[in-house]
Structure 1
Amino acid sequence: MMAAARKLMGFCLAIALVWLVVAEMPRPLAVAPDLALTTITGKQIDLKALRGKPVVVTFWATDCPGCIKEIPHLIELYEDYHARGLELIAVAMYYDPPSHVVAMSETRQLPYPVVLDLKASYARAFGQVALTPTTFLVAPDGRIALQYTGLADNQTLKNAIETFLKG
């Protein structure tokens, strides 16, 4: 009887863990939210005004190993495609100290805009983003074309950006 109870308890624990992981994943969106963002340099970015261009929005944190690993790829994307119309916006999570975000932006010489999400309102607008990195590719028509929780597939992202820039 004890073995059966342990198996049942283990099964319930596994189900609870799966539920927690799924609950923490951002909800899929059909269309990017219309947000007005303020960068760490005080510049205003209106997502709706960027319609007509592909836009990468990545949620990150300075203490996130995957986020740090992605920075060179994001810089490469920005440098390769920005002149052709790509916009890339990095949104620092609400729990990330602003001084850390500014320091990392300067140390890593991030060429793209960095935004602080001090009240988690941007994360909520993008479907309750809680895990980092979480990256969205917004198509020129405003719909969410790709969404990654965890490291993005760089080649798939590049291919989609190329398609949008050709069209």
Structure 2
Amino acid sequence: MTDEGKALEVSARVITRRTALAGVSAAIATAAVPSSPAVALSDGPPPFGTVRHQFTILQPVRMVPSVSITRLDGSTVNFAAFRGKVVLVNFWATWCPACRTELPSLDRLQEAMGRKYLEVVAVSADRDGGATVTPFLRRLGIRHLNIGLDPRARMVRAGDDESATPFPLYGMPISYIVSPSGRIEGYMVGEADWSSEDARNLLNYYLDADQAPR
């Protein structure tokens, strides 16, 4: 195990959106696959990836439709409620070993950042819904993520019919970045180290770039 218990120091005075994310310490512990070296692009988002996968930019960019997320308590929230924040939408399942490693890292990221500029929404694809998910999360000590349930695969669908869902399921886990204005910018397949400097640079990019016309 790495230093998972190490405390994070986040500045109490947030000057800009960029300093909010930049303040997340790279010391957030995770057992994720380490990011591979990459060189930033001047005309687009900085690269982010693992030894197996790279963050994939969607072209053309799609807008999130009016989609509701079912929560653990049975209530629902519309995705529009997250406007104004960068949203990291993570799809996972209890039977996925990589998901079990990635979820605690995402939980620590959300705890460190709060919900002013970043919202991590972790949507379970387990068919049994809350009956399976709730005890699983309790065992992992997950306390800060916005947990969603999608047992009928309404938000994701394996296959080539991308028009049927805003978030095609190309692998498990898979994470999508949605900009503050609701654009689905791209995705990362597989377990990734979202606490790394490359990841924080990517999130910073979408916080800043969303303020300028494209």
Deviations 1:42-85 (A, max 9, x none): 34221122111111111001010110110122012201222432
Which residue number in structure 2 is paired with residue 55 of structure 1? 87
Where does structure 1 differ by over 4 angstroms across 4 or more consecutive aligned residues? 164-167
Which residue number in structure 2 is paired with residue 40 of structure 1? 72
Matches within 5 A, 1:13-162: 28=58, 30-95=62-127, 98-110=130-142, 111-124=144-157, 125-129=165-169, 131-154=171-194, 155=196, 156-162=198-204
Identity %: 30
**Unmatched 5+ stretches in structure 1:** 1-27
**One-letter identity of the residue aligned with 1:134:** I
Cα 1:48/1:85, change in 2 over 3 Å: same
* Residue pair 1:35, 1:47 contacting (<8 A) in 2 also: yes
**Unmatched 5+ stretches in structure 2:** 1-57, 158-164
Aligned residues: 141
TM-score w.r.t. length of structure 2: 0.58
Which residue number in structure 1 is paired with residue 37 of structure 2? none
3-state SS of the aligned residue for 1:88?
A: strand
- Higher percent of residues as helix: 1
Moved more, 143-152 or 66-75: 143-152
Distance 2:126 2:153 in 1: 5
* Residue pair 2:122, 2:145 contacting (<8 A) in 1 also: yes
Distance 2:193 2:62 in 1: 20
Distance 2:179 2:83 in 1: 8
